[in-house]
Amino acid sequence: MIRSFIAIKISEEVLQKIVEVQNILKESGVSVKWVEPENIHLTLKFLGDTSESQIEDIVRVMQESTQGTGPFQISIARVGAFPNLRYPRVIWVGVQDVQEALQKIQHRLEQGLHGLGFAIEEGVFKPHITLGRVKSEKNKSNLLRTVETVVNTEFGVLQVNHIHLIRSDLKPTGPEYTVIQSVELRN
């Protein structure tokens, strides 16, 4: 079994700005497990434990999900928290103008993967890039004050040309991600 997910990679230009904001937030002294820059991505579907024999079928679903959807762009902007800024559990960077193409691919992935036995995510798809997970309430007020200074940051436009099936290996030093397969978006 492997642990896996389907995601969009972040361009170097956008990633640089995300890391700058992440560094500002780190200075708040809050107890957060920050995502390492090389692991920052936009998740389309978390698969969890996956049998290696399912990979071929998953890639087929990825290809079907992107069929007829050419490359597109999304704007990456704003900083927020789930469930909200008063009780932050996950600190994220948002996708501002969610393109129909992104929603269509994510919806098709959910439906296609459900046919392979993966559970459908409950609720509305809220595309975001996770920066870190809050571990404790320590210095929470500092974090909120710091988030307010970066909340309206614009990180740039992300060109989406591929979606990736990524393997996640949990190591003592943190997760290590490896791209198993990439699917190109074509018209």
Averages of pLDDT over each 10 residues, the chain, 187 residues: 97 97 92 94 96 96 95 96 91 90 95 95 91 89 91 96 97 93 93
> What is the pLDDT, as a whole number, of residue 28?
87
d(CA 22, CA 34): 8
Mean pLDDT of the chain: 94
Of the residues 114, 128, 162, 164, only one is catalytic, namely 128
Query: Which amino acid would we find at residue 187?
Result: N
Q: Is 162 a catalytic residue?
A: no
How many CB atoms lie under 10 A from the CB of residue 44?
Answer: 20
Q: Is 41 a catalytic residue?
A: yes
Decide: pTM greater than 0.85.
yes
**Dihedral sign, CA of 86, 87, 91, 96?**
negative
CA nearest to 7, candidates 171, 158, 173: 158
Phi, psi of 127 (to 5 degrees): -60, 135
Helix (H, G, I), strand (E, B) or coil at 152: coil
> What is the pLDDT, as a whole number, of residue 109?
97
To which H or E segment does residue 131 belong? strand 128-134
